[in-house]
Structure 1
Amino acid sequence: MTGATVDFFNSIPGKAQLLLRIPMAGTLRIDLVEGHRTEHWYVTFAPGQAQVSRDEQVADAILTVPTDLFDEFVTGRSRPNAAVLRNDATVSGDIRLFLALRRFFPAAPGVRDPREVAREKVAASRQTGHQRTTNPPSTGQHSTGAGRYSGGHQPNAVDDPVTGPGTREHTG
């Protein structure tokens, strides 16, 4: 186990109020497996908070993962969901606890939250004095070529309750 893993577990309680937006409660045991050795970490979730412990306790869910793969989770080089789907890690019990833990893992290196990027663009445009331009009003026409559907009813079209409005009449 690396220092990054220990730092990750130590950071969970401080991030819980921000990351746990839905009320939930339960204990997730994380089994870090290396060869024939298993280390147990317990994360107990309560509404808006999380506590981390190494003391044995009853768990509502168990995440079993190789130690080196967990190190990749905590550094953002691998995603826990993908590892579970590949069967490189397993989850049993209350899956919601695993999904809650997922929120604490960092994004991959170099990946940014799109909301953060949008905020920066808005701030930059305000600094340069550019106003947001709007698109011209739509005419309902698409530049998809002659004879194609143009957004209105097509000739010989009917409002079919099964296939929807403006579909071609069925002849047959």
Structure 2
Amino acid sequence: MTEATERFFESLPARAPEILRGLVSGTLQIELSSGNRTEHWRVQMQPGAIEVSRHRGPADAIWYSSEDLFDRLVTGRAQGISAVLRNECTFSGNVVLFLAFRRFFPNPPGTRDPREVAREQAGRLP
């Protein structure tokens, strides 16, 4: 398990009030594999709160990923939906939980909000 992934999971409870504002509620089991070893993360989400544990248990959705891909996701070098569509990882269960969880991942380095760019461009008009 990389340090970036460990820090990512540790940061979730503090970031949840800002990110989980909707009515999302449920448990996401994340299975991260590397060779013959699998790390288990259980993420319980509810509006404004999240609980993280390293135990397996009943879940509304399960996400299977390699440790390498997950490390790229938590550092902004990969995008969750793109990874699923390219079949780099798999997901089963309540897709709303995956869509909510992916909002915790950072944007790629150098990414800017298009509204910010438009405001800058508008400010440069004669």
**TM-score of the superposition, structure 1-length normalised?**
0.67
Q: Which residue of 2 aligns with 1:12?
A: 12
Shift in Å at residue 99 of structure 1?
0.6
Q: Which residue of 2 aligns with 1:88?
A: 88
Shift in Å at residue 83 of structure 1?
0.8
Q: Deviations over 1:86-113 (max 9, x none)?
A: 1110000111111111100000011122
Shift in Å at residue 13 of structure 1?
1.1
Amino acid at match of 1:46: Q
Alignment of 1:18-29 (within 5 A): 18-29=18-29
Is structure 2 residue 97 aligned with structure 1 residue 97? yes
More helix per residue: 2
Q: Which residue of 2 aligns with 1:54?
A: 54
Q: Deviations over 1:116-171 (max 9, x none)?
A: 4456x39xx5xxxx9x87xxxxxxxxxxxxxxxxxxxxxxxxxxxxxxxxxxxxxx
SS in 2 for 1:28: strand
Distance 1:17 1:118 in 2: 29
Higher relative contact order (CA 8 A, sep 6+): 2
SS in 1 for 2:92: strand
Q: Deviations over 1:8-56 (max 9, x none)?
A: 1111111111111211211001100101111000111011111111123
Q: Deviations over 1:47-87 (max 9, x none)?
A: 11111111232111000000001000001111110111111
SS in 2 for 1:33: strand
Question: Percent sequence identity over matched residues?
Answer: 54
SS in 2 for 1:103: helix
Larger Rg: 1
Residue ranges of structure 1 left out of the alignment (5+ in a row): 134-172
Residue ranges of structure 2 left out of the alignment (5+ in a row): none
Which stretches of structure 1, 4 residues or longer, exceed 6 Å deviation after superposition? Answer: none
Distance 1:84 1:54 in 2: 23
Give the root-mean-square deviation of aligned CA atoms.
Answer: 2.0
Q: Which residue of 2 aligns with 1:66?
A: 66
**TM-score of the superposition, structure 2-length normalised?**
0.90
Amino acid at match of 1:73: L
Distance 2:92 2:102 in 1: 15
